[in-house]
Chains A and B, each alone.
Chain A
Amino acid sequence: MNLSFFDQFTSPCLLGIPLILISMLFPTLLLPTPTSRWITNRLSTLQSWLLCLITKQLMIPLNKKGHKWALILTSLMMFLLMINLLGLLPYTFTPTTQLSMNMALAFPLWLATLLTGLRNQPSISLGHLLPEGTPTLLIPALIMIETTSLLIRPLALGVRLTANLTAGHLLIQLISTATITLLPIMPTVSILTTTILLLLTLLEVAVAMIQAYVFVLLLSLYLQENI
């Protein structure tokens, strides 16, 4: 009912420039381009290690044709990871709380995997609509269910990311408001709420990383089915 609690999710404008633009471009500063040196600075080494870990994890289940997707999946992963983690700093704006942005990421990529499958191996892609070993009587119902589940995938991808991050930020704001308000009235309860806030912040850091990973993992799974 308190509409103002959602004010943190509107992109603030200064001189007509929305903060979302800066929030989306800022991660590029934190990810240095690798130079041709053998031993780089610590940040570049960390970044290369993380990129190798992510790429290996995502590309192992894919066949050779799927490796063409390595660049887009890894860059998407780094982008989402950076944006989610930066959103946990005070006063910052998280673009991934906006459903528009998450749908804009999820829908075209899901459609690309679907069209790749339908174009290159149509019978195998359509065959995924019917799991093996279903009783004959259930076949029509199951095909309808599987089609619905297929068509709902982009919506689920986008909404999952939005909802998780929005809920987390909202919880942090609610509990911190409670802590500050309770501090002059009941200090002990305020300290208890501070403990909850600390644990919640740790959870949010984990959720930020996990949600980015889940988004890209699901996309790679949809790719595996279709390539």
Chain B
Amino acid sequence: GPLPERRLMDVRLGELPAWLATRDFSPQGLLGGLQKAWSSYYDKYINVKRGGPAGISMLLAGYCLLSYGWNYQHIRCHRWRKYH
């Protein structure tokens, strides 16, 4: 379909800057995008008839990665610290 209406996964790599230009970056737009991303993740992996631990585990793994990124400045110098 036309570029503004396509989802992120359907956009080709070369068209990415053009697609980003059509996106709505106001607070409501960002919040709406976040809400949409969360509901698509939730409906695909958690809100299923016979879900397993995978849906939540991916979420927790992502949370661990996020926390690692947040702490990176501190973890970076771990090897050279005199006192741990």
Decide yes or no whether A29 CB sits under 8 A from chain B: yes
Number of interface residues of B (CB under 8 A): 26
Q: Which of A41, A86, A90 contacts B46 (CB 8 A)?
A: A41
Decide yes or no whether A145 CB sits under 8 A from chain B: no
A90 and B75 alpha carbons, distance in the complex (Å): 12
Decide yes or no whether B29 CB sits under 8 A from chain A: no
Q: Which of B42, B60, B68, B74 contacts A7 (CB 8 A)?
A: B74
Q: Is B66 a contact of A32 with CB atoms below 8 Å?
A: no
Min Cβ gap A45→B in Å is 10
Decide yes or no whether A155 CB sits under 8 A from chain B: no
Number of interface residues of A (CB under 8 A): 25
Q: Is B84 a contact of A5 with CB atoms below 8 Å?
A: yes
Q: Give chain A residues whose Cβ lies under 8 Å from the Cβ of B75.
A: 91
Q: Is A2 a contact of B67 with CB atoms below 8 Å?
A: no
Minimum CB distance partner of A93 in chain B: B67
Q: Give chain A residues whose Cβ lies under 8 Å from the Cβ of B70.
A: 12, 14, 19, 22, 93
**12 CB < 8 A contacts A-B:** A2-B84, A3-B83, A12-B71, A14-B70, A32-B46, A32-B47, A40-B47, A41-B47, A41-B48, A91-B67, A91-B71, A92-B67
Binding site for B on A (CB under 8 A): 2-5, 7, 12, 14, 19, 22-23, 26, 29-30, 32, 40-43, 86, 89-93, 177
